[in-house]
């Protein structure tokens, strides 16, 4: 059985493209480009909480990198460097090798240098830290949403939640859509190009990890505003096709999470610009509501009646 340092040498040493020094010393050396600010974020994935203990290690490696890269996309920052700290119940080299390949493949897909990390014995846990760059005053924060702004979301949020419900035997999916939902759950695609394109366009932004309503509440609280979603504008089509149940599709969209799509506000006068960005990137961008000047979150039904929505998202300390 390989030891810690042999595992690191075999599976965590990769060439770097824009770093002074990568894995192999006491610290990596990174040189931000002149005039750029550093954006830094950390995400931890814990077995039994964020993924099944028997999850495919390649896909788990991909997702661990992807959810961190998505944090850079959410701020309009360019992801540049990443580290990975890994706790393992045992030194299973085949598992480590597959996980490392998935992590590396995601990093390479988004031009991110894997520059270091750590391994130890313990309950299965993967914790990555991502470093990105953004020009001063160009980062898109959660604090800028204003009364009258449009609310937008990218892609088809809710598909990952349907995939999880299927794996948990809570919902049977149509066979033609099953793999697509599972792919969204296991292999999210960070919207880096969209995040970069929305700098100077979006007034507030984040990625949808804990559910659309729950994550939207963070924007509303930070910006001291409210919002109303329009039921007729919600992108439910693929969700309805996948599960054939309106209630399940709507719940997945509004509270499912794990899609890592971008949810953002933008001034109404930017509507044409946002639509042009979607066409250029060949990525669906859905206008789903608007920002209000009073606190709270509502859903306007097709008949025009507005009802209050619960804004709570996934809580890691909530009792199951």
232, two tokens: 């007729």
DSSP code of residue 44: E
pLDDT at 312: 55
Is there a domain that residue 202 lies in? Answer: yes
**Nearest Cα residue to 161 out of 253, 55, 244:** 253
Examine the fold and report which residue of 134, 158, 188 is the final residue of a domain before the chain moves on: 134
Is there a domain that residue 252 lies in? Answer: yes
**Nearest Cα residue to 162 out of 177, 176, 151:** 177
Q: Does residue 188 share a domain with residue 113?
A: no
Cα torsion through 133, 193, 147, 41, rounded to 10: -40
Q: Does residue 95 share a domain with residue 22?
A: yes
Structural domain boundaries enclosing 176: 150-308
* Residues paired with residue 133 on neighbouring β-strands, in sequence order: 38, 78
Q: Residue positions in the annotated binding site for Mg(2+)? A: 26, 41-43, 71, 118, 207, 210
Examine the fold and report which residue of 78, 108, 134 is the final residue of a domain before the chain moves on: 134
pLDDT at 317: 33
Is there a domain that residue 145 lies in? Answer: no
In tens, the pLDDT along 200-235 reads 999 999 999 999 999 999 999 999 999 999 999 999
CATH number of the domain at 75, please: 3.30.1330.10
* Residues paired with residue 291 on neighbouring β-strands, in sequence order: 227
* Residues paired with residue 205 on neighbouring β-strands, in sequence order: 264
Q: Residue positions in the annotated binding site for ATP? A: 117-118, 142, 209
In tens, the pLDDT along 15-48 reads 777 776 666 667 778 889 999 999 999 999 998 8
Q: Does residue 155 share a domain with residue 128?
A: no
Q: Does residue 215 share a domain with residue 116?
A: no
Is there a domain that residue 142 lies in? Answer: no
**Nearest Cα residue to 115 out of 71, 65, 76:** 65
Q: Does residue 183 share a domain with residue 286?
A: yes
CATH number of the domain at 295, please: 3.90.650.10
Q: Residue positions in the annotated binding site for substrate? A: 50, 258, 314
Q: What residues of the chain score a pLDDT lower than 50?
A: 313-320
pLDDT at 313: 44
37-46: strand order across its sheet: 37-46, 125-134, 78-88, 113-121
Is there a domain that residue 115 lies in? Answer: yes
Domain count, the chain: 2
Per the CB < 8 A criterion, the answer to whether 198 and 266 are in contact is: yes
218, two tokens: 């963070």
Q: Phi/psi at 228 (nearest 5 deg)?
A: -130, 130
The helix (H) or strand (E) run that includes residue 115 is strand 113-121
Q: Does residue 111 share a domain with residue 214?
A: no
Examine the fold and report which residue of 91, 110, 134 is the final residue of a domain before the chain moves on: 134
Q: Does residue 294 share a domain with residue 172?
A: yes
Q: How is 53-106 classified by DSSP, letter by letter?
A: TT--HHHHHHHHHHHHHHHHHHTTPEEEEEEEEEEESS--HHHHHHHHHHHHHH
Q: Does residue 176 share a domain with residue 127?
A: no
Match 């697509």 to its residue by tokens: 180
Is there a domain that residue 259 lies in? Answer: yes
- Tell me how far apart the alpha carbons of residues 320 and 315 are, in angstroms, rounded to a whole number: 10
pLDDT at 22: 63
284, two tokens: 């669906």
Query: What is the chain's mean pLDDT, rounded?
Result: 91
pLDDT at 218: 96
Q: Is 181 helix (H, G, I), strand (E, B) or coil?
A: helix
Q: Residue positions in the annotated binding site? A: 26, 41-43, 50, 71, 117-118, 142, 207, 209-210, 258, 314
């Amino acid at each position: 059985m390989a030891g810690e340092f042999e595992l690191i040498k075999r599976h965590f040493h990769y060439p770097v493209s824009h770093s002074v020094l990568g894995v192999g010393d006491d610290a990596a050396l990174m040189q931000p480009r002149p005039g750029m600010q550093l954006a830094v974020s950390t995400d931890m994935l814990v077995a039994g909480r964020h993924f099944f203990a028997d999850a495919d290690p390649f896909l788990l490696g991909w997702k661990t990198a992807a959810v961190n890269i998505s944090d850079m996309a959410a701020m309009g920052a360019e992801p540049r460097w990443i580290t990975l700290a890994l706790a393992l119940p045992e030194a299973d080299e085949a598992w480590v090798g597959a996980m490392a390949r998935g992590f590396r493949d995601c990093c390479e897909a988004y031009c991110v240098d894997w520059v270091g990390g750590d391994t130890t014995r313990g309950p299965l846990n993967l914790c990555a830290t991502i470093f990105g760059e953004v020009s001063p005053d160009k980062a898109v924060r959660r604090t800028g949403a204003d009364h009258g702004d449009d609310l937008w979301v990218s892609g088809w949020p809710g598909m990952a939640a349907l995939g999880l419900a299927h794996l948990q035997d809570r919902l049977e999916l149509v066979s033609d859509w099953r793999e697509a939902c599972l792919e969204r759950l296991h292999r999210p695609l960070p919207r880096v190009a969209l995040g970069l394109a929305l700098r100077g366009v979006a007034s507030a932004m984040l990625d949808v990890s804990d559910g659309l309503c729950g994550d939207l509440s963070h924007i509303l609280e930070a910006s001291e505003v409210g919002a109303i979603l329009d039921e007729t504008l919600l992108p439910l089509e693929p969700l309805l096709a996948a599960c054939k149940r309106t209630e399940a599709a709507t719940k997945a969209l509004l509270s499912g999470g794990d899609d890592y799509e971008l949810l953002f506000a933008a001034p109404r006068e930017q509507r044409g610009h946002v639509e042009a960005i979607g066409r250029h990137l060949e990525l669906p961008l859905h206008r789903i509501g608007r920002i209000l000047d009073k606190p709270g979150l509502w859903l306007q039904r097709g008949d025009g009646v507005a009802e209050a929505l619960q804004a709570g998202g996934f809580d890691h300390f909530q009792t199951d």
